[in-house]
Structure formats: structure tokens, C-alpha cells
Structure 1
Amino acid sequence: MQRRLRVLALHGYGQNAHIFRTQILPICKACEGRVEFVFYDGPVVLHPPDQPSGYTLVDEDGYPLVRHTPVLDREETPRGWCTFNEDRTRYHGVEEAFAFLKPIMERERFDGVIGFSQGAALAAYLCAYLEDPTTHPLFEHRFHPPLKFAILCSGFLPIDPPLPHLLQTPTLHILGRHDTHIGTAESMLLATACARPRVEVHEGGHFVATKATWRRFFREWICAFGPGVRGKPEEVLSPVPVIRMAKELLEEHESEITTTPQIIVSAPAPAIPAVTLTSKWVVWTAGEVM
């Protein structure tokens, strides 16, 4: 029996593992028997003041996915992987997010990763540090092989710290043409930081497309990385009638892109102390609600 591919699933800011699983459940069902999606809660529990103004998450039909009130029900508690300022130029707690994921990846093996919004930015970091463990002290003793692929949905280019190099992991970038939270120009910056990006655009907003054509596309693209598969991911047909390549999107949004990707070869970050989640950005520590 062929081994199932295992995919680490990283939810967005203000979501949690349960909400993200609910959001992409149609994709999980389409991949059943061939792909296993593994969901984890982010370590930071959010409180309404941590939510950027005007920030909401909706499903494909426009219904809210998160109640913006502090709740104790684990399945409804909004979480994040770190917090950030309003223009997402300074991150608070990203090192703790790496430390949170390290023991998980030490004991488990994943073929790929799927991340939504902030989870996509975190996935980009993971790809970079697993490709070259010398670029971060937590990863310098290789505990997990490089990922075979990454699916980055409504993602943005992380800059604090910047990515240490151009990502070599094959990446699939899913953009919402009418995403008013993470615009296509922002997501395209992340694509330009990858050596082998594939960009697909749906006509909706800040969510992962899950209609039938997209479900089939996700299944075939992910399974193309499976053992013994003859097809290649780049040969999987687009889920949209007209393929809009990354170059076309860059040209369309050239005037909106006001910065270039900060891809630099940086010195390793200093070692971090034991994980504590006690900053002013966090209302409860993760342990208090788990």
C-alpha cells in the first residue's frame, strides 16, 4: 500500500487548528486516503486588542469564521503564531513559534506544508531554515529533511527577520483576486522570493478556494510529489479557465509593489531563551487553555 503524504497545516492569524481544518475540509476529503493533513494550534492566544483594525476572516460564502471575543472553548479560541504591528513590519514572538514547532518536527515527518495568511509566512520560514539549517540556530542540528513542497495561500513576504535566501522548495501560491486583507501584490512579493513558484488565482477574497475544480487541483498537485508518481506538479492543469502566470500578475500590480523582496544572506540569529508567552501582546499563555 502506498504511503500517504503528510502535510503540516498552519492556520492564519485569528484562526486555530479547528477553524483552519473546517475551512479546508473539502480539500482534505478530496485527498482522503492519499494525503494526511496535520493541524496544530498556534502558541499565541489572541485577545480582541491583538486583532488589527478591520480584520475579519470569512469563508467562501462570506460568513465569519472567528468570533472576535475571548472564549475558553479551544475550538473557538483565536490564535496566532506571533503578533505584529499594523503594517506587519515588526513581529513579536516569531522565534517562539519556531521553538514551538521544533519538537513537533523532531518527532514527526512531513512531506510538505500548507499555510494560510500568517501561516503561509511561517511556512516560508520553515522551508528556508530546513533547506539550509545553518541560517538559524534552532535548525542548525538538522532534525527534519527539507520539505518537498509548500502551499502558500493568501501569504505575504515575511521581513522580520527577512528570509535568508531564495526558497528552493517548490511552492504553490494561491491568491484571491479580491482579497482586501492580503492583496495580490503582497502575495506576489512572496512568490518572487521563491525559485520555483506556481501562482493560481481565484476570484474570491481572503480564503482558500475549495470548489470542485480547486479540490481536484489541490489533490493532483500534492499527489504529484508522492513516491513513484510519474506526473510532475507543473503538468497539473490549472483550476481556472485561463492561466494567469506570475509574470502577468507582476505587470498588472507593478505600481502597487513599492518594495523589493528582502532576501539577504544574514548572520545566524542569536540563540533564544526558553519559550515564554508573557509579553503584553498575549492575554493567556498557551498552557492555560490547552
Structure 2
Amino acid sequence: MATKKLRILCLHGYRTNVKIMQDQTRALRRVMEPHAEFVFVTAPFEARGPSDEVIERLYENHTPFYEWGHITKLERQPEASDNGWYHQYVGFDRVVEHMDEQLRTHGPFDAAVGFSQGGQMLTALSMWYLHQRNERYWKCCLICSGTRVRDVGLRPLFENADGSPKRVPIPSIHIIGKSDPYYNTCREHAELYADEVPDAPLKKVVFEHESGHRFPSADRHPDLYEKLSDMIRLHCQTSD
């Protein structure tokens, strides 16, 4: 009897689109598609400004670009007591509505992959759904170059009243480039997740590569994507 394919939700990065995310995940899809179906979701907002210069040039025939809302800073200087929570996400309510539509239309999902802002939203949505609905809509997360959640309105989802952390209780894999200008905040993002989740077959995995804000090259890391595939499949099969 044929094994049912996993369904993997994919959230693209800031001011990009589904086409770009498909290209970015090509190496992962190549090894996983015998076992998985990838579902790419477009962010709910058309980009309010230009994308990265390289993206604009390479994908000039694949516009428009989209974003998962935009960020505003608090109208004061950050303080130590803010503990890194000093942004406001404009449009997060619409993101939730949009994802609800996607879950109804394309779900259920076994795993989720997020790149950059898509990874940030994946983490925010994971905790929002857990706290507001007691729902886990994916069994594990793979986040590449995801910057840390900093929205003050979401802080209670990630911190207790005494300031101690509430770790995301979902098995996670984090891919971070050592040359990424957002390296430090990507590391902080990984720290939002629990090191171990009860009944999960593996601990949290953080993989660092020598490149920047991108998925690592399959040529330079020939075994990486096979390992990622094995980990995702193990998490999903164990959770059944």
C-alpha cells in the first residue's frame, strides 16, 4: 500500500513571492518530493516598497512581490526591561485571517517551512494558535534565516508575567548563515524554541553554514538536505 505523502506548508520571505520560495527550496524539494507535497502560500500584503536589488533583477518577470505586514518601532528608545520586544507588527490580525483561509483550503499540514520573515511569522502563528485555540497545525518547523519575533503585542505568548520565557513547544530545525547580517537575531529566534519537546524523537537542531541570508548550497553541503528530509519525516511519522 502506498504511503501517504506528507504535506508541507511553505511561507516565503519579505517582499518576495511563491516563485522565489520554490527556487530557494529546490534542493529540499528534490529529496523530499517522493515523500511529500509542498504547498506554497502567498503573503496577504503586496510589497509596500522595493525588494532586495538582486531579487528585483533576477525576478523582474515574476512580480509582484509580497510581505507579511510591516514593522513599526515603539515611539521611544528601547529599554532593558523590553527584553527585545520593541516592535509592532502592522497587519498581524490580517495574517491570521489569511492563514485561516489557507488552512481551510489547503490543510491539514504535517510540517512547515519558513524563510526570513516567513519564518518569523511561522513562529508567531505557532504560538498564537497554541495560546488562542490550543491547536498545533504542524508537527515540526524548519526555519531558515528567520529573524526573532519582537512584536510587543505578542510578548505574552512568549513570556510569563515574571519575564521568564515560554518556549515554543514544537520540534524545530533552524538554518542560519554565519555571514548573514541578521545572524544574531536569527540565533535569538532559535532560542525561542524548546530544546526538547516531550515525545519528540529529536532535540532542536541548529545548523550554521558559511554563507549569508539564504538556504545553503546543496553543492557545498551534499548531505544536508537528505538529513533535513530524514528529520522532518521522523518528526511527522512519530507524531502520527
Structure 1 residues 28 and 210, CA gap change in structure 2 (3 angstroms): farther
| 1:24 corresponds to | 25
Alpha-carbon offset, residue 36 of structure 1: 1.4
Counterparts of 1:1-290 in structure 2 under 5 Å?
1-48=2-49, 56=52, 64-67=54-57, 75-85=62-72, 89-107=87-105, 108-132=107-131, 134=132, 140=133, 145-160=136-151, 161-163=153-155, 164-165=157-158, 166-180=167-181, 182-183=182-183, 185-196=184-195, 197-211=204-218, 212-227=222-237
Query: Which one-letter code corresponds to 1:99 in the other structure?
Result: E
Secondary structure of residue in 1 paired with 2:113: strand
Q: Which has the higher helix share?
A: 2
8 Å contact 1:67–1:76 — kept in the other structure? Answer: no
8 Å contact 2:145–2:176 — kept in the other structure? Answer: yes
Alpha-carbon offset, residue 68 of structure 1: 9.6
The TM-score, its normalising length taken from structure 2, stands at 0.76
Query: Which one-letter code corresponds to 1:214 in the other structure?
Result: L
Query: Which one-letter code corresponds to 2:71 in the other structure?
Result: F
8 Å contact 1:15–1:66 — kept in the other structure? Answer: no
Structure 1 residues 167 and 27, CA gap change in structure 2 (3 angstroms): same
Root mean square deviation of aligned Cα: 2.5
Secondary structure of residue in 2 paired with 1:219: helix
Query: Which one-letter code corresponds to 1:223 in the other structure?
Result: R
1:43-80 Cα shifts (integer Å, max 9, x gaps): 1111436x5xxxx37xxxxxx233499x7x6x321111
8 Å contact 1:177–1:201 — kept in the other structure? Answer: yes
- Which runs of no fewer than 5 residues in structure 1 stay unpaired? 58-63, 135-139, 230-290
8 Å contact 2:140–2:171 — kept in the other structure? Answer: yes
Distance 2:120 2:174 in 1: 11
Structure 1 residues 220 and 152, CA gap change in structure 2 (3 angstroms): same
8 Å contact 2:12–2:114 — kept in the other structure? Answer: yes
Alpha-carbon offset, residue 111 of structure 1: 0.9
8 Å contact 2:139–2:236 — kept in the other structure? Answer: no
Distance 1:39 1:210 in 2: 21
Query: Which one-letter code corresponds to 1:153 in the other structure?
Result: C
Distance 1:205 1:92 in 2: 27
Alpha-carbon offset, residue 168 of structure 1: 0.2
1:168-189 Cα shifts (integer Å, max 9, x gaps): 0011111000012x22x11111
**Number of equivalenced pairs:** 205
The TM-score, its normalising length taken from structure 1, stands at 0.64
8 Å contact 2:140–2:236 — kept in the other structure? Answer: no
- Which runs of no fewer than 5 residues in structure 2 stay unpaired? 75-85, 159-166, 196-203
8 Å contact 2:41–2:102 — kept in the other structure? Answer: no
| 2:198 corresponds to | none
Alpha-carbon offset, residue 115 of structure 1: 0.4
Alpha-carbon offset, residue 119 of structure 1: 0.3
Query: Which one-letter code corresponds to 2:227 in the other structure?
Result: F
Alpha-carbon offset, residue 147 of structure 1: 1.9
Secondary structure of residue in 1 paired with 2:174: strand
Structure 1 residues 200 and 47, CA gap change in structure 2 (3 angstroms): same
Q: Which has the higher strand share?
A: 2
